[in-house]
Amino acid sequence: MSVAPLPSLPVALERLRTLFAARGGKTTPVAVAQQAALEQFISLGLPTTRDEAWKYTSLRRFESRALALPESVTAVDAGLESRLLAADGWQRIVFVNGRHAAGLSTASGVVTGLRVRTLASILRDDPVEAATLLGNDDVTTSARFDLVNRAFVDDGLVIDVAADAHLAQPLYLVFESSGSDRATLTTPRIIVRSGTHSRLTLIEHHVSGERAEHCVAAVTQLSLAEGSQVEHYRLRREGSKVVHLGSVSADVGGSARYISHTLSLGGTLSRLDLAVRLAGSGASCELNGVFLADGTQHTDTHSCIQHVVPKTQSSQDYRGLADGKGRGVFNGKVVVHKDAQKTDAKQSSRNLLLSNTAEIDTRPELEIYADDVKCSHGATTGQLDPTALFYLRSRGIAEDEARGLLALAFVETVLKGMGIEPARDYVSGIFRQYFLDSKALAP
């Protein structure tokens, strides 16, 4: 009796398996955990538009890539400094193609209460701890590419903030995708653990030159102990050929506060899954973000906030813009668990179409299983106000400039919430250039 052959895997999954095998077989605890992550991803399969969490986003641009492993880089694309924030006095840690670049990093000396280690050093010196850090946490259908990161990660950062430490300066992390003719898979992972009543400002900045064709599968995991605060800036401005599939998760303890600012610009395809779990009484989070999909770019942001216990608060304010034939997606979800009485949750998604061929899909969701709560959401998608446009034109302002001023005002409503001036000026400057100068977002 003949045996039926095993069904073949989709080409993209076969490529990942081949790429993993090219690293060489190992039997260390880390290698076992990474192999398990890859097999779990393969068994789940690639998300498709039939999956509710991926309804508006196709992965064809990812599937078409013949990915390669990162190579050692001796030089980065010209103009790296011009793509970065003006951050005098900050501790800057740079990664190139997912790997720590000590020569491009700047240290500000020993910072009391802060311990920063590269994941590569932990992988090398303490494989048991490394295997624990990579872990086997549950992965949602939405953030499935966390498994790809786990399978291939070979560097990143582990950041520990001591109890009661208040860091005066932001920690600035730069992830540069350096250009090549190869579609390189880069998998940086950041793990942040803030001690009780500590304070940290973290800036995570993903940049690239226009030549880069990389696929970035980036993961950031944050754990906030009781009474701590983390303000997290996630800025992404990448070349038009980059595929970026990122996820951020934050577990927020009692009376702790997580503040998130996200910027999504560039790339041919980008996706960010942002998950927050308010796990202690008095925990709160504020999520703010802005994206622009230009040309034929596709950018997707999915947020999910879990109110697990009583007396927690959350707010979301996202602004989206689409120009040319760009398409933007925002899906914001709030889940109030059965015992999470006295929850206060607000959500706002406002979107602006700058051309007749652009598209934005916005979807606010509320799941409420408690009865003593205050929850609200709102979503709008439209074009520039013709009355306001006419008013500016009547004051002698040219049409292009008038449209740019209105679009800029729409964006800066969110940007004014950025408390770090260099970050706010950086983002505002990008949009000013786009709307009022050359209308070019090239990095």
Nearest to 302 by CA among 222, 252, 247, 382: 247
Q: What was the pLDDT predicted at 332? A: 95
Distance of CA 106 to the CA centre of its chain: 24
Per-residue pLDDT tens over the stretch 339-365:
999 999 999 999 999 999 999 999 999
Report helix, strand or coil for 50: coil
Calpha distance 174→181 (Å, rounded): 22
Q: What was the pLDDT predicted at 6? A: 44
Which helix (H) or strand (E) is 236 found in, with range?
strand 229-238
Q: Is 212:404 a contact under the CB 8 Å cutoff?
A: no
Write out residues in the chain with pLDDT < 50, as ranges.
1-7, 442
Q: What is the DSSP string of 311-352?
A: S-EEEEEEEEEE-TT-EEEEEEEEEE-TT-TTEEEEEEEEEE
DSSP character at residue 428: H
Q: What was the pLDDT predicted at 142? A: 65
Per-residue pLDDT tens over the stretch 217-245:
999 999 999 999 999 999 999 999 999 99
Q: Is 428:415 a contact under the CB 8 Å cutoff?
A: yes
Q: What was the pLDDT predicted at 74? A: 59
Q: What was the pLDDT predicted at 75? A: 63
Q: What was the pLDDT predicted at 127? A: 85
Q: What was the pLDDT predicted at 441? A: 52
Q: What was the pLDDT predicted at 37? A: 92
Q: What was the pLDDT predicted at 24? A: 78
Q: What was the pLDDT predicted at 77? A: 65
